[in-house]
Structure 1
Amino acid sequence: MASGTGLRATALSREYGTGPTRVMALDQVSVHLRPGGLAAIVGRSGSGKSTLLNVLGGMDTPDSGHAELNGATFTGTGPRKLTEFRRDRVGFVFQFYNLLPQLTALENVELARRLPSRKRADVPTSIELLERVGLRDRAGHFPPQLSGGQMQRVSIARALAKGPDVLLCDEPTGALDSASGVEVMALLTDVAREGRTIVAVVTHDPAIRDLADHIVAMRDGRVVADSRPPVS
């Protein structure tokens, strides 16, 4: 694998506030997320997990350090370039789905496909994506007519609709029951292990550690462990 392949952060630092309210959310964080496996970013609340995810997704800018995707730096490129980076290269999955309630499941996915962006030529159609997440028969249902697990699977289909290079997931099972959480994680693991999309999951869920191919543990804004479990 080429050294420039993947999502790489180098010495990222990010602080908020001043004086007694100053918080060092990231403190010289370096990490390299590669395609081909599921990466789990773990740690207690306030450890810096979500801040790291926001920087890696171009939603926040570090005070120092840099991040790059496949050898091309995207931090420090300015608001317009960051917007293009998020639009063209990154898919997001959030804890509370963020679906538009007035649109059907199919329309939520199709909306993402219609946004102007750089798409891979082989991105499946919206109905094919819903079929992939097991919801072809729910294509015409509105979000209030779906369970939490179904809504999260629609949100994953929506994130995949633009063929992202990176899929960033912030507590994707946090609002789900255990059975739905297993279904969602099985889907994300399949996407990750296809090797075409870098998949990173921020989570408090210890069960996800058992599924991960790469574990990044954080505490007080720092990476305290970075491991790839041996293949059994």
Structure 2
Amino acid sequence: MKNGVKFHSIFYRFILFIFVVFLTVISMILDAKKAQIRFFNLSLTIGQKELRIVTVVVLLLTFLLSFMFKWKCSIHKEGIYLRKIDLFVDWNAIRGLSHIWINEYHRGPHGFPFYNRKTLVIYRENYQPICLYNIPILALYVAKCYHPKLKTNIVSATLASLFNMALNAWFLYEMFSKNLVNIKAEVFMFWLLLYAVKVFALPLIMLGYENHCYGASLAHSTAYKKNASKAIHL
């Protein structure tokens, strides 16, 4: 399956967001000052300019390196090919394709304790659905282009993605502009409310609607059961 549009994991975006927040916090602490880091006989002076350069370089490198890893799926005019299990799913065998957020929960020191996995769900005729984790919503648009009659949740998925991007962009803007230093209590509480909607409410609503349309097969991970959905997990 060499032809078609290939999609890689987008988990790196989550790592990048955390890294940018970390650098922004350091920038807020330094403000107009400069910090000097000593390592043996070497010294490194870090200021606002150096932090910006490091941020841009790391963002570009991480984005480029993400394409060096193996792609997860390929979408083309005949259907969807899943590389990990070497399975090709023809469009005629797919009764629905959705992009939703399935929460992942980790106990212990390994991995992130809580994460909204952007999941492409392939609903098949007479078979279990397939959950393809950390796939961008662009895959839904590509599938719709190749197979316009395909049933999708492209409208709700797009609105959820726009809400997520706008909220994260707003947060980063406030941090870069150092407005968080003098943030009002009511604004902070409003932010917490919006992030609660993003982390808990939206995934529950999206998953509940999917189960209503296609049957109760999907579920969020819990502290007691990882990958709780009755599906193939990729």
Same fold judged by TM-score > 0.5? no
Q: Which has the higher contact order (CA 8 A, sep 6+)?
A: 1
TM-score with structure 1 length normalisation? Answer: 0.29
TM-score with structure 2 length normalisation? Answer: 0.29
